[in-house]
Structure 1
Amino acid sequence: MQTGKIGVSSENLFPIIKKFLYSDHDIFLREIVSNAVDATQKLKTLASKGEYKGEVGDAKVTVKLDKDAGTITVSDNGIGMTAEEVEKYINQIAFSGANEFLDKYKDDANAIIGHFGLGFYSSFMVSNRVEVITKSYKEDAKAVKWSCDGSPEFTLDEVEKEDVGTDIVMHVMEEEKGFLEDARISEILNKYCKFLPVPVIYGKKKEWKDGQQVDTAEDNQINDVAPAWTKTPADLKDEDYKNFYRQLYPMSDEPLFNIHLNVDYPFNLTGILYFPKIKNNFEVQKNKIQLYSNQVFVTDSVEGIVPEFLTLLHGVIDSPDIPLNVSRSYLQSDSNVKKISSHINKKVADRLSQIFKDNREDFESKWDDLKIFIEYGMLTEDKFYDRAMSFFLLKNTEGKYFTWEEYEKLVKDNQTDKDKNTIYLYTTNVEEQFTFVEEAKNKGYDVLILDDVLAPHLINKFEQKYTDKRFVRVDSDVVENLIKKEDNQKEEWSWEQKQELSPVFQAVCPENKDLQFIVDFQDLGETGSPMVITRNEFMRRMKDMSAAQGGMNIYGDLPESLNLVVNTSHPLVKKVLDAKDKKLGKKLEEVGTQLQVKKDEIAALEKAKEGKKDEEIPQADKEKLDGLNSELAKLEEAKREKLTDFGKSNKLAKQMVDLALLANGMLKGADLDKFVKRSVELIK
């Protein structure tokens, strides 16, 4: 028997392994099984070169759980080790500067494993003793047994072992007894070892018999040794890709399509990425891409490893150039990972472009499920934006799809304003904005549908890039003003007329702290709507973006600003105007005369002040001016009260405002009930 100490110059390795190695102790089984797979593959390689004459046809790794003995055993029939190799690969971890390195990385021991291949020692996270029973493939090699209790002391003995290979026996410590449950081991193996290239056997397959699950005689192989991504695209059919997706995500809807990655220069990379159906609410899981290294699962948290927008994809990426055991910070700064990320970005864009060119009709049919992903990529990756412009589609209210260039040609002649800007009209909700959409279409305009959560951000990006193009929502103004072809030559009311009628309609606007109505007057023609409610494009867009960002924006706290546009040519508006003149004409004339007298007096006093310093103006004049201004304000307020009272009592004014609200889907509940009853009264 040989005894000794593991060759590390400090005893702080094992405490670090047990305490700091991984927050997730499950990883130990991945490490031990992966090592066993490596040993098995090495023996196959030696056999293929004629350096090993034994049988390798039944190569496999077996995991056994013995709950009574408190052990987990991982066995392989791989290359095995001699006593000298055990000494070299297990006992001698005396790498240069061990103490300093361990002290530096004691809180991030993933880095220790990643740099120095200490995966075997992860077994001590869950074990109070580990035994290695191994026999080398070399002729006349003696089997040996290595044993260690989690301290630097070990024993090494010769033992009897018939077959070439290695058994790792882990005696699970009391506080980790949860790993002695069958379900727990199955879960770990399924997570980390599902696609290892050598068969991994765990127990026997089960069948339902006499009301319970019983073991059969057939081995339970938990892994697919040749998953789809390891094959060449020429060897796979569409159904193979779909079956593999179901294998990865058994509860998910079928994907839209996939991209098969197969690169051998300047780095090795294989994988299959799937485009899932992404709903408009953008609530997606970003942990659906599984990262592998030589078919060993590494992580499904790939943010920072692949471009942000690609985290919306599902599937598998496998590269031996990605270290198996490293910290996230290392992965995110690794040059190979950055190259891989850039390549996948390009590959995704190229694949989308090819699908678009090969079968545009199919691409269009999937666009509504695909657009969020593409828009996200265009907003977050400039290189992807440039590539995506060739297949990015705009959809109009007729359900037709256009590339950017195609749509520009479609609308340029008819939708260019007097300032040479091409106007892209759009709706965010065809039903709610139906009236505005129809009016725009009746005028010969085309209207786009931009109804997803990323559309406001994408619109801003387009307008920044193309300064001669503007996006205007159809309900942001009356149809005559959406695309101004020339300066408006129609006669409009005077400022005094507008001021006099504004309180009448302001009085019947909804009282809501979250809504702010601004009354405006425009000549929309006798056949136009009597009133139209529009939303200021700039303010609405800022509020939309603020909402998308969680409201952390000054615009997010402002009430919604709406324009109530009164059609000065409409007979019903003129009817209200006539009723106002009939009921308030004389009173308003009297107030108007008094106002004019006050204004004339104020003007005279202001003129007398011209050219004088403040101390040169008589105090009496100052006091008189203050008094006149106060009287003027009271007269203005009295006039406004009369107009407001008239507006509140005028059913026709209220009816026209409610009609405008109804057209915008804003009349609900009790207000809608009152509108219906008032309509009946007015019809009688």
Structure 2
Amino acid sequence: MATQKGHIGITTENIFPVIKKFLYSDHEIFLREIVANAVDATQKLRTLASKGEFKGDTTDVKVSVSIDKEAGTLTISDQGIGMTAEEIDRYINQIAFSGATDFLEKYKDDAATIIGHFGLGFYSSFMVSSRVDIVTKSYREDAEAVKWSCDGTPEFTLEPVEKAERGTDIVLHIDEENKEFLEEGRIQTLLNKYCRFLPIPVAFGKKKEWKDGQQVDTAEDNVINDTHPLWTKTPSTLTDEDYRNFYRDLYPMQDEPLFWIHLNVEYPFNLTGVLYFPKIKNNIEIHRNKIQLYCNQVFVTDSVENIVPDFLTLLHGVIDSPDIPLNVSRSYLQSDRNVKKISQYITKKVADRLSSLFKSDRAQFEEKWDDLKLFIHYGILSEPDFYDKAKNFALLKDIDGKAYTYEEYREAIKENQTDKDDQLVCLYTNDREAQFSYIEAAKAKGYNVLLLDGQLDAPLVSQLEQKWEKTRFVRVDGDTPERLIPKKDESVNEADKAANENLTSVFNAGLPQVEKAQFHVETSAMGAASAPVLITQSEYMRRMKETARLQPGMSFYGEMPDMYSLVLNTDHPLVKQVGEGVVSATGEKLAPIDAELRGLQARRTALEAAQKDLKPEDVTPEEKAELEQVNNDIAAQYNQRNEALAGYARENQVVSQLIDLALLQNGLLRGEALNAFVKRSVDLIR
């Protein structure tokens, strides 16, 4: 045939500038596209041979990648079916293209879609090339070899050429901006990333050996890929060690996996793969995106958020499906029916595998629970349907290490941990060392305490409260032991109430300033053997602050001060001693103040009763002024009262010592206050 010149059949003159501009961020993808095309051509030849339409030998076919730095070329060669001049005209020179305006508008943000949607896999080579040559010879008898050349414009040449063997050579003349693709290390990295499991051997140079103190090439091809990766094999032919070896190959620096799932589906979609359960103690983010997605053994992506539910992105391994195209786009994944079916299938397989492990060997499952729970809790929190699958094998562990299913735990604590309102109360700790005394106090009352110290245990608690009827979770330091699970309403007589008010005022006055913390002082009869002073924290506010750390939208809770209750044990001898001291030290000062307060309060009650049924405009200015004056007088008397009690608090070292001991136990005593406590402790010991 004579040399032919022509124009590539496209509907815009700007195809190559568009490719360079909009595919630039993914420019390394060209190597995958060209090598994948070479593999396809080779597999097609094998298919023809299996049907008897090709009589030649296909045993040792391969794809070769080579660099010629001097010539500035990167060549991808195959021994596949090759092309005739007519086939080049049909498959290379004609690009189905819908017009520049629609193209740019629809695909400007998605390079992968550009390639896949318009069959531009081969043309991605122009992202890095100033010229591309195709030298090809068809497998057909008496076929004539041809060479196609294009310099990145719509113009091309097609001419006869000498080529002894069938197949195709794609010769990329790498442009000045992309000389990195003439570096052996860079190409080796890309081949390892995109082509390491292709079904046809891919050779890149020769294997090397040490000789005379340096590395030299041998005669053996450097085949970079495993053509029969583990997931393509029948599970019954594989051993546990085979699966572990494959995992080590994929993730050389990772701990051994806990277990794995071999996926193999032919209908209603095609899917193979192996998914591993890694050990996940904490930090979800570092475990993400370890699943590699393949299409017919060609690497697609390791970002699989839209293919599997979010919590399954913590798994490691490989998914291979021809029903997911090479050039995945987010819009495609979100709408494709097959992808949704694949997602549902994988979720079910994971849940079934976990359930099977739990039922077949519960003891082993419990041993692995600490490595599994973050994954399972993430699934329960992020995937609404997963809770129903997981509730029968998800576990709760108490501080003694005993594990329960959800139903087992509810049944175990039902008798002893149901409060007066028929609510089941689940007590837990998230720090067994810091909350040791609270745990011991709860255990002394016969309560079971769960250990919930995982990264997602705080939101899990809220989720379980929604799922379980008439159940609430309370951290063990959320209240006094007596009030954690109230069995009846507390009643206090008037005399005790007055004495308790004096105590709270005294201890309030003795509280030091603690940054970003607010305290409410209260009293409770906790028994003489319990601590004299206890600090508890509001379950609601503490949980909101914990959630705020995980959800940026709730950050305002994180800015609020921590809310604590300082609970005085009115049964403890030291607190009783302080109470008795209040009476003896301040009785004379408080008696006239209290008498005056009683009179003022009676007067206020009478004034309010007189004005109760009147409209605001019917109350005279004199009456309003009198009520305001009474309120001011009451406030003034309370100020005098509190000052008298504060004076006692300042002089009584026991008050300060009890407060500081409680603060110290909770890690809240710092700086100047801690220094004062140490000095006071020394003085008290002398």
- Under a length normalisation based on structure 2, what TM-score does the superposition of the two structures give? 0.95
Q: Distance in 2 between matches of 1:16 and 1:141?
A: 35
TM-aligned CA deviation for residue 498 of structure 1: 2.8
In the other structure, the counterpart of 1:452 is 454
Give the alignment partner of residue 169 of structure 1, picking from 168, 171, 176: 171
In the other structure, the counterpart of 1:462 is 464
Q: Distance in 1 between matches of 2:358 and 2:668?
A: 40
In the other structure, the counterpart of 2:639 is 637
Give the alignment partner of residue 327 of structure 2, picking from 325, 328, 343: 325
Other structure's SS at 1:30 match: helix
Other structure's SS at 1:382 match: coil
Contact 1:289 1:317 (8 Å CA) reproduced: yes
In the other structure, the counterpart of 2:374 is 372
Give the alignment partner of residue 351 of structure 1, picking from 350, 353, 378: 353
Task: Mark the CA change 1:214 to 1:434 in structure 2 (over 3 Å): closer, same or farther.
Answer: same
Task: Mark the CA change 1:639 to 1:491 in structure 2 (over 3 Å): closer, same or farther.
Answer: closer
Q: Distance in 2 between matches of 1:423 and 1:615?
A: 52
Deviation track 1:374-426 (CA, whole Å, cap 9, x = no partner) reads 00101111221110111100000111111112112211112122222221111
Contact 1:281 1:452 (8 Å CA) reproduced: no
Q: Distance in 1 between matches of 2:238 and 2:533?
A: 62
In the other structure, the counterpart of 2:625 is 623
Contact 2:26 2:111 (8 Å CA) reproduced: no
Task: Mark the CA change 1:475 to 1:551 in structure 2 (over 3 Å): closer, same or farther.
Answer: farther
In the other structure, the counterpart of 1:388 is 390
Contact 1:490 1:523 (8 Å CA) reproduced: no
Q: Distance in 1 between matches of 2:417 and 2:610?
A: 54
Contact 1:129 1:147 (8 Å CA) reproduced: yes
Contact 2:10 2:97 (8 Å CA) reproduced: no
One-letter identity of the residue aligned with 2:137: K
Other structure's SS at 1:284 match: helix
Q: Distance in 1 between matches of 2:529 and 2:639?
A: 35
Q: Distance in 2 between matches of 1:73 and 1:492?
A: 96
Q: Distance in 1 between matches of 2:383 and 2:294?
A: 24
In the other structure, the counterpart of 1:335 is 337
TM-aligned CA deviation for residue 610 of structure 1: 5.4
Task: Mark the CA change 1:2 to 1:621 in structure 2 (over 3 Å): closer, same or farther.
Answer: closer
In the other structure, the counterpart of 1:566 is 568
Instruction: Output aligned runs, 1:272-671, within 5 Å.
Output: 272-488=274-490, 494-550=496-552, 552-609=554-611, 619-668=621-670, 671=673
In the other structure, the counterpart of 1:262 is 264
Bigger mean CA offset, 5-14 vs 260-269: 5-14
Q: Distance in 1 between matches of 2:74 and 2:119?
A: 22
Deviation track 1:336-357 (CA, whole Å, cap 9, x = no partner) reads 1111111111111111111112
In the other structure, the counterpart of 2:232 is 230
Task: Mark the CA change 1:551 to 1:153 in structure 2 (over 3 Å): closer, same or farther.
Answer: closer
One-letter identity of the residue aligned with 2:252: P
In the other structure, the counterpart of 2:103 is 102
Deviation track 1:47-100 (CA, whole Å, cap 9, x = no partner) reads 12221111211110000000110000000111111122112111222x374556
Residue 212 (str. 1) matches residue 175 (str. 2)? no
Unpaired runs of 5+ in structure 1? none
TM-aligned CA deviation for residue 607 of structure 1: 4.7
Bigger mean CA offset, 628-637 vs 101-110: 101-110
TM-aligned CA deviation for residue 640 of structure 1: 0.6
Task: Mark the CA change 1:515 to 1:9 in structure 2 (over 3 Å): closer, same or farther.
Answer: closer
Task: Mark the CA change 1:492 to 1:621 in structure 2 (over 3 Å): closer, same or farther.
Answer: closer
Q: Distance in 2 between matches of 1:492 and 1:39?
A: 95
Bigger mean CA offset, 504-513 vs 27-36: 504-513
Q: Distance in 2 between matches of 1:573 and 1:459?
A: 36
Deviation track 1:514-539 (CA, whole Å, cap 9, x = no partner) reads 11111111111222221111111111
Q: Distance in 2 between matches of 1:10 and 1:551?
A: 47
Other structure's SS at 2:510 match: coil
Other structure's SS at 2:600 match: helix
Contact 2:11 2:98 (8 Å CA) reproduced: no
One-letter identity of the residue aligned with 2:271: L
Other structure's SS at 2:385 match: helix
Task: Mark the CA change 1:512 to 1:124 in structure 2 (over 3 Å): closer, same or farther.
Answer: same
Task: Mark the CA change 1:487 to 1:631 in structure 2 (over 3 Å): closer, same or farther.
Answer: closer
Deviation track 1:438-461 (CA, whole Å, cap 9, x = no partner) reads 111121111111112311211111
Task: Mark the CA change 1:603 to 1:352 in structure 2 (over 3 Å): closer, same or farther.
Answer: closer
One-letter identity of the residue aligned with 1:443: K
Task: Mark the CA change 1:101 to 1:642 in structure 2 (over 3 Å): closer, same or farther.
Answer: same
Q: Distance in 2 between matches of 1:489 and 1:345?
A: 54
One-letter identity of the residue aligned with 1:631: D
Among all aligned residue pairs of Structure 1 and Structure 2, give the percentage whose two residues are the same amino acid: 59
In the other structure, the counterpart of 2:27 is 25
Q: Distance in 2 between matches of 1:492 and 1:554?
A: 40
Q: Distance in 1 between matches of 2:666 and 2:495?
A: 26
Q: Distance in 1 between matches of 2:259 and 2:169?
A: 43
Deviation track 1:466-518 (CA, whole Å, cap 9, x = no partner) reads 23111111111111111122333676864433332212111222312311111
Q: Distance in 2 between matches of 1:233 and 1:373?
A: 25
Contact 2:512 2:673 (8 Å CA) reproduced: no
Contact 1:16 1:109 (8 Å CA) reproduced: no
TM-aligned CA deviation for residue 612 of structure 1: 5.1
TM-aligned CA deviation for residue 281 of structure 1: 3.9
Contact 2:125 2:172 (8 Å CA) reproduced: yes
Q: Distance in 1 between matches of 2:554 and 2:167?
A: 62
Task: Mark the CA change 1:158 to 1:619 in structure 2 (over 3 Å): closer, same or farther.
Answer: closer
Contact 1:551 1:557 (8 Å CA) reproduced: no
TM-aligned CA deviation for residue 28 of structure 1: 0.6
Deviation track 1:229-262 (CA, whole Å, cap 9, x = no partner) reads 1112112111111111111111222222211111
Task: Mark the CA change 1:422 to 1:647 in structure 2 (over 3 Å): closer, same or farther.
Answer: same
Task: Mark the CA change 1:384 to 1:179 in structure 2 (over 3 Å): closer, same or farther.
Answer: same
Q: Distance in 2 between matches of 1:109 and 1:660?
A: 62
TM-aligned CA deviation for residue 272 of structure 1: 1.1
Deviation track 1:190-216 (CA, whole Å, cap 9, x = no partner) reads 111111111111111223344433322
One-letter identity of the residue aligned with 2:420: K
Task: Mark the CA change 1:554 to 1:52 in structure 2 (over 3 Å): closer, same or farther.
Answer: same
Q: Distance in 2 between matches of 1:432 and 1:608?
A: 55
One-letter identity of the residue aligned with 2:323: D
In the other structure, the counterpart of 2:70 is 68
One-letter identity of the residue aligned with 1:444: G
Contact 1:105 1:112 (8 Å CA) reproduced: no
Bigger mean CA offset, 428-437 vs 176-185: 176-185
Q: Distance in 2 between matches of 1:222 and 1:415?
A: 63
Contact 2:502 2:582 (8 Å CA) reproduced: no
Q: Distance in 1 between matches of 2:629 and 2:227?
A: 95
Task: Mark the CA change 1:210 to 1:588 in structure 2 (over 3 Å): closer, same or farther.
Answer: farther
Bigger mean CA offset, 295-304 vs 389-398: 295-304
Q: Distance in 2 between matches of 1:298 and 1:123?
A: 17
- Under a length normalisation based on structure 1, what TM-score does the superposition of the two structures give? 0.95
Contact 2:97 2:118 (8 Å CA) reproduced: no
Bigger mean CA offset, 212-221 vs 528-537: 212-221
Q: Distance in 2 between matches of 1:251 and 1:611?
A: 80
Bigger mean CA offset, 22-31 vs 490-499: 490-499
